[in-house]
Amino acid sequence: MPVLILGRGLILGLLLASLSGCGYHLTNAAPGHLGVSQKIWVPFFSNESISPTAQTVLRRAFYDEIHALRGLNPAASEEIADLVIKSKIISYSSKAVSYNTIDQAREYSLNLNVELEISKKGQALPLWKGQLQGSKQYPANTNLALQRNAEEQALDAAARIIARKFISALEESY
C-alpha cells in the first residue's frame, strides 16, 4: 500500500512539473519596448506594384499579426500612435513554376517585396528599417474565378509571411 501511494505521488509530481511553465517569456515585454498597451499605426502601403489589392491585404495582415503575436493595438490615427510604420510595396509578381505533360501551367509562385520602416513617436532614428520578401505557391486552374481565388489566398499568405518576418526582425534588433 505505501508503495502505491508513493507511486501515485511520484506520477502526480511529474505531471505537475510537466504542466508548469519553463520560465520563458517575451524578451521585449518590458515597458518602453514593444508590448501591450502600445498603439501602432499601419498606413496603407505605398504601391509601386501592379496589384491594386496588395496594399489592403498587407495592411490587414500587419494589423492581424502584430496584434496576435505582440498584443499591440491599432491606433485610430497616426497622431495618437506610439509606433508608426512606413511602408512601400516594391514589387508583386506571379509566374508559373511548374508545368504538366502538355506544357500547361500547373503551379504558380506569387512573390511580394516590401520596404518597411518602424519608428517610435518622438524619436528621429527608426527602430528598424529594411526590405522583406514573401512568396507563396498556388495551383493553376482552368476556371478563372478559382484561379483568381487561389492567387488572392497566396497573396494573403505572402503578406502574413512578411508581417511575421517584420516582427521577428524588429524583435532581433533590440
- Each residue's pLDDT expressed in tens, for the chain with a length of 174 residues: 555 565 566 565 555 555 555 544 444 444 445 555 688 889 888 888 888 889 999 999 998 988 887 778 888 899 999 999 999 999 999 999 999 999 999 999 999 999 999 999 888 899 899 999 999 999 999 999 999 999 999 999 999 999 999 988 888 875
What separation, in Å, do the N-terminal and C-terminal C-alpha atoms of the chain show?
A: 56
Cβ of 107: how many Cβ atoms within 10 Å?
A: 14
Which residue type is seen at 21? Answer: G
pTM of the model as a whole: 0.75
C-beta of residue 120 within 8 angstroms of C-beta of residue 85: no
According to DSSP, residue 31 is labeled T
Helix pair angle (144-172, 54-70), 10° resolution:
50
Which class for 170: exposed (0-12), middle (13-18), buried (19 or more C-beta within 10 A)? buried
pLDDT at residue 155, as a whole number: 96
**Given the DSSP bridges, would you call strands 39-41 and 83-99 parallel, antiparallel or unpaired?**
parallel
CATH architecture label of 29-172:
2-Layer Sandwich (3.30)
According to DSSP, residue 108 is labeled E
DSSP three-state, residue 90: strand
What is the enclosing helix (H) or strand (E) of 72? Answer: none
